[in-house]
């Protein structure tokens, strides 16, 4: 039996119904069992009972009760040793409360319909079932991912996020030569909109406010290596904001440009060129700010080297 865990509601889940939130959090658990948990009070919101239709507010603390479905009980044996070893090899930092992982590209943070398990299921299998994600990264994004082992630290990190005391920094390669210096890119984003039969995140007037700071690091003949800081944390925010400026990310099959992606594949790029290079935070219980850095992966470094060679 797993231990109970607490999750603090972030901006992405504001307004979501409690039952839908719990069905996602307990993926694989029968719907009827999830609804019984809510009705019986096993699920708590801010230490009290809540109805299944309760709309979540930012900062709400959700208690997720201990439960394993048959599928979840078998997951630890389904996860092969190669995946477990890959995760172990990419641990950047670990103590009794926190684990910072240099997440490999291509593995989602959560299991789902297309992936039986993700990063968090693998870490739970090799550490303990009560660990949880402090934030998320897209499946194709690599880099710093914070996983917490205590509900107290989780609450503090999420509070720091709301107060702007958490810094997440990325490196990304974009199409074209970025003109000018650093600037903030703003635009309201809405997810789930259909375009060409595919669900996308798109800039719209009635979307959620989003802001991204983008700064050129190195310019090439037809690409620019960027330093990127998301001020807000919307789904696909960096990718959509980059594309909205006419500078889509290299290797982005969803929001990118096919011709540019083909050229980058010719230089050996086989994935999205987006890497979470730094994660830092400052919380009251710690005497000094914590900062963690993940070096650019070798497959991305080689693409940069080849772009430099083509410039000479």
C-alpha dist (Å) from residue 104 to 95, 114, 118, 146, 216? 21, 18, 11, 13, 24
- In the residue annotation, 293 being an active-site residue is answered as no
Q: What is the DSSP string of 289-310?
A: -EEEE-PPPHHHHHHHHHHHHH
Identify the bridge partners of residue 169 per DSSP, sorted by sequence position.
Answer: 278
Instruction: Please answer whether residues 92 and 109 qualify as being in contact, where contact means their C-beta atoms are separated by less than 8 angstroms.
Output: no
Instruction: Please answer whether residues 219 and 307 qualify as being in contact, where contact means their C-beta atoms are separated by less than 8 angstroms.
Output: no
Nearest to 238 by CA among 187, 285, 281: 187
Q: Which of 138, 140, 205, 222 is catalytic?
A: 138
CA 142 – CA 170 distance, rounded (Å):
9
Residue with token string 């990304």: 172
- Coil/strand/helix, residue 256: coil
Q: 81-89 and 119-126 are packed helices; what angle lies between their axes, rounded to 10 degrees?
A: 90
Instruction: Please answer whether residues 229 and 241 qualify as being in contact, where contact means their C-beta atoms are separated by less than 8 angstroms.
Output: no
Say which residues have a Cβ less than 8 Å from residue 44's Cβ, sequence separation at least 6.
Answer: 50, 62, 63
Instruction: Catalogue the E-assigned strands of the chain.
Output: 5-8, 44-45, 61-64, 91-94, 98-103, 132-133, 142-148, 166-175, 183-186, 189-195, 198-203, 211-219, 223-230, 274-281, 290-293
Active site residues: 138
């Amino acid at each position: 039996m797993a231990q109970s865990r607490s999750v603090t509601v972030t901006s992405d889940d504001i307004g979501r119904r409690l039952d839908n939130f719990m069905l996602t959090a307990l993926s694989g658990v029968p719907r009827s069992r999830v609804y019984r948990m809510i009705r019986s009070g096993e699920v708590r919101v801010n230490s009290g009972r809540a109805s299944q239709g309760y709309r979540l507010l930012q900062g709400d603390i959700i208690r997720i009760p201990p439960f394993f479905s048959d599928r979840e009980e078998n997951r630890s044996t389904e996860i092969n040793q190669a995946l477990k070893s890959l995760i172990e090899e990419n641990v950047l930092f670990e103590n009794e409360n926190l684990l910072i992982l240099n997440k490999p590209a291509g593995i989602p943070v959560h299991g789902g319909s297309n992936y039986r398990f993700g990063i968090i299921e693998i870490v739970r299998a090799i550490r303990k079932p009560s660990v949880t994600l402090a934030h998320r990264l897209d499946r194709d994004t690599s880099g710093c991912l914070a996983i917490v082992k205590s509900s107290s630290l989780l609450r503090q990190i999420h509070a720091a996020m709301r107060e702007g005391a958490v810094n997440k920094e990325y490196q990304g390669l974009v199409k074209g030569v970025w003109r000018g210096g650093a600037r903030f890119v703003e635009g309201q984003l809405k997810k789930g909109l259909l375009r060409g039969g595919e669900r996308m995140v798109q800039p719209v007037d009635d979307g959620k406010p989003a802001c991204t700071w983008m700064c050129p690091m190195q310019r090439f003949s037809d690409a620019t290596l960027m330093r990127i800081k998301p001020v807000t944390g919307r789904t696909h925010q960096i990718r959509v904001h980059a594309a909205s400026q006419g500078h889509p990310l290299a290797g982005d099959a969803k929001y990118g440009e096919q011709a540019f992606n083909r050229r980058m594949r010719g230089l050996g790029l086989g994935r999205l060129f987006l890497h979470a290079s730094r994660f830092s935070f400052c919380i009251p219980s710690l005497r000094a700010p914590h900062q963690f850095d993940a070096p650019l992966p070798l497959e991305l470094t080689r693409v940069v080297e080849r772009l430099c060679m083509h410039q000479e």
